Chains A and B, each alone.
Chain A
């Protein structure tokens, strides 16, 4: 038992210890076992869950979740041979795993009941999954859990009650018509057509209230436990573990990318999120981090090998194309992370630099729609031209703007993004000089041919098959590797430290001898160059460029808003953060078609929740972790009377 003034280790439900453990393990096993049974009798539900003995779709998730719960419960208990799974021994890992299983099973059961109209559509397997996962959660709640002693904000703010009352009255009044007289006729449709809002608001408040109640009851917290020293493994075994973990990671990503229907993807997201939380709490992730820190090169190699293996494991070209597009998006997001995450410069038009690179490369690609149609430069030269063009634009935009402090850069880059798009639309020979073929863009960019390897054709290497999209995925992976290398090396260098210093306190940084303008311009220009490089590759991968690919905001990534969101969601200043953020932001809209019109709303809600619960992003660097969650603030007692600003100079 770990005791401290702020946290305690106690169960939520007062169950006898062996009963709680039994329920957690048994529930997990039952949920896992249900995967081998039929959940519903008709094949109408996507994925066809009607078979005995062969799991499908959501059942696989129940199997994994249930097994993980049972194993974690045994590992947390200290079962020999499983300790590696739960080095911290915290019960929270079991609870999260159980909650993940519960979420998947109940989501599936409810979806079956709703979509097929009624509980009668459930087979015994479905019932078993529901009961088993519930049992696992109850059992986990009876285990000793790490909990806060204090209840945070037990009261709901009165303002929310007021909002609730107002919206209820408005809903009633608008529905019955009498409240309409209070609304000016001009904006009446705004109210009558959006009645849902007045329902959604109370629902949101109720959910919020429910969450507070639940949180006050559970008081789940995090106790930083020192992990016991790991059993020493020989070097090769450690490397083997790292490799195996990445192989599993590849499997997980592959499952997510190739989910065929929305329900499965939702289940996948739920389980991955909870399982990650579970492994974090159990200390398995911490242990893995120790390993990867010891074997940097192997880790990076394994990560890229896993990404490179992806196209070989896919039989469908569409999924490979998704993988390629994720890589494009992720690479650009990482480039933006130099500008936003390290130097703290808000660039709202980053996608324009991607566009500059793509257009520059497309113009010299030998496409018959290019004004220089006879000019067919080799691919590497085209990439360099794309990067150089973006660099020039970066300097031209940055040089006048970065001299100023404040938010000018955000406004100027936002404007530049729009100007770029409009200029590309207008340079069509009628509205302006002929360069870009206007809204039609430059299509039919010839396939890349490097050293006789034609990227446009499928290739076979013995048993391995690589299609056109696979070729381009590997090509894009090289670009990603370049950006990752640049980021990793620069972030931890004299110039990278200067960026962070500028971000932290520009005045102090200048007083330490840093030429703020120069250093910021370097960051901005480097960001632009990396985007240009990615853009040049992107133009060849997608085979066409057009102005509407480079918007500030659109439902499909990459656009400037999504890029920024990927960086913030994933974790500013880290390498894996934007990669993960980009993957999620690409997959979620692509997979959840039913979100369509509510996508931006959902996106906004997700960002708000993230800022509330994990402001450092999904993946936090050591620095961000401390930045946002460390409560040990030193006294800042000195009178603040010497804050010079440029205004005073």
Chain B
């Protein structure tokens, strides 16, 4: 039951996310079992684990899509209300494992929807179209275009989301999430289905996001990706966090190795080969 925790960052950095004792039960199934996790300012934290370990469920608990059976989730010191839109408003944005873009809206419109919480224009200002409204709308568009550019989708602004290639859809999800000016970004398997070049580009993108001052919590199966990227990695197995720490701590932990079917971590060797 003991979990090894190694802090790599200076402990002085402010915690952005503090999840403590999060439990999520579905009837008899405990998908997430008493998980604690802290993400600090400026960190990239990884979350790995076999399929069905409860990673996505944990994300859903953090973002208010599920109300955790037990436990609390704090963002910058305040307990989050269990409503997705309030969580986003507070400053946590996310992407989805199975892409959930607004398929029949353009890329630009998708990002504009992401700006929803940071803009106020309501029905009446939309009908009256006063100067304030026009300014706000122009600013939103400006910001959305910047974000598309930032994610490498500058040329795709007017394409329907559904017509973008798979890799670009993932990027668009990230651009849309960034549009809400989050302090913490949750990425659920951002490289699933990507080829090696695209994965490399995604890595760069995550670093660039961190440099914007956004903390990142990322679920991933690609070990190379995780270990290149993350300051810290937590391992979830059958709903429980068994290890948390830096690369060595995780790689050398027996329980992690057994959890991955008794075999050495898939991809680790590859990571060592060309990573070093």
Contacts and interface: CB of A to CB of B under 8 A. Distances in A.
Contact of A495 (B123, B163, B180): B123
A641 B166 contact: no
A494 B116 contact: yes
Contacts of A512: 85, 88, 93, 113-114, 116-117, 176-177, 179-180
Q: Which of B59, B123, B126, B192 gathers the greatest number of chain A CB atoms within 10 Å?
A: B123
B56 A642 contact: yes
Nearest to A482: B127
A501 B163 contact: no
B193 A638 contact: yes
B35 to A, nearest CB: 17
Interface stretch (B4-12, B62-70, B202-210): B62-70
A451 B83 CA distance: 52
Given A495-B122, A501-B113, A512-B113, A634 B164 contact: yes
Contacts, number: 158
B99 A636 contact: yes
B103 A511 contact: no
Interface stretch (A418-426, A550-558, A625-633): A625-633
A490 B96 contact: no
Nearest to B100: A508
B116 A498 contact: yes
Contact of B193 (A624, A627, A635, A641): A635
Q: Which of B85, B121, B137, B163 gathers the greatest number of chain A CB atoms within 10 Å?
A: B85
A120 interface: no
Interface residues of A, number: 46
Given A495-B121, A497-B109, A642-B98, A511 B65 contact: yes
A636 B101 CA distance: 12
Contacts of A526: 123
A640 to B, nearest CB: 4
Interface string A479-519: 00000011001100111111011001101111111111000
Interface string B43-61: 0000000011000110110
Contacts of A632: 163
Given A507-B100, A634-B163, A641 B109 contact: no
The 7 closest A-B pairs by CB, nearest first: A513-B117, A493-B126, A513-B88, A508-B100, A642-B56, A510-B84, A504-B102
Interface in B85-101: 85, 88-89, 93-94, 96-101
B100 A505 contact: yes
Contacts of A515: 85
A159 interface: no
Contacts of A642: 56-57, 59-60, 96-98, 188
Contacts of A228: none
Contact of A633 (B93, B109, B117, B162): B162
10 contacts: A486-B127, A489-B129, A490-B123, A498-B116, A504-B102, A504-B103, A510-B83, A512-B85, A626-B163, A649-B66
B97 A641 contact: yes
Contacts of B41: none
B33 interface: no
B160 A626 contact: yes
B230 interface: no
A498 B26 CA distance: 31
Contacts of B38: none
B3 interface: no
A522 interface: yes
A185 interface: no
B233 interface: no
A493 to B, nearest CB: 4
B89 A513 contact: yes
Interface of A: 485-486, 489-490, 493-498, 500-501, 504-505, 507-516, 522, 526, 623-624, 626-627, 630, 632-644, 648-649
B102 A509 contact: yes
B55 to A, nearest CB: 9
Contacts of B94: 511
B85 A505 contact: no
Contacts of B105: 497, 500-501, 504, 623
Q: Which of A501, A510, A513 gathers the greatest number of chain B CB atoms within 10 Å?
A: A513
Interface in B18-41: 26
A494 B119 contact: yes
Nearest to B55: A642
B185 to A, nearest CB: 12
A624 B160 CA distance: 11
Contact of B113 (A507, A509, A635): A509
A522 B114 CA distance: 19
Q: Which of B26, B84, B114, B163 gathers the greatest number of chain A CB atoms within 10 Å?
A: B84
A640 B56 CA distance: 11
A630 B83 CA distance: 35
Nearest to A624: B104
B121 A644 contact: no
A514 B123 contact: no
Contacts of B93: 512
B189 interface: yes
B166 A637 contact: yes
Nearest to A518: B85
B192 to A, nearest CB: 5
A642 to B, nearest CB: 4
Contacts of B101: 505, 508
A293 B202 CA distance: 38
A504 B100 CA distance: 9
Interface in B112-150: 112-117, 119, 121-123, 126-127, 129, 133, 137, 140
Nearest to B67: A649
A255 to B, nearest CB: 36
A648 B96 CA distance: 17
Contacts of B196: none
Contacts of A623: 104-105, 160
Given A515-B85, A626-B160, A626-B163, A496 B126 contact: yes
Nearest to A627: B104
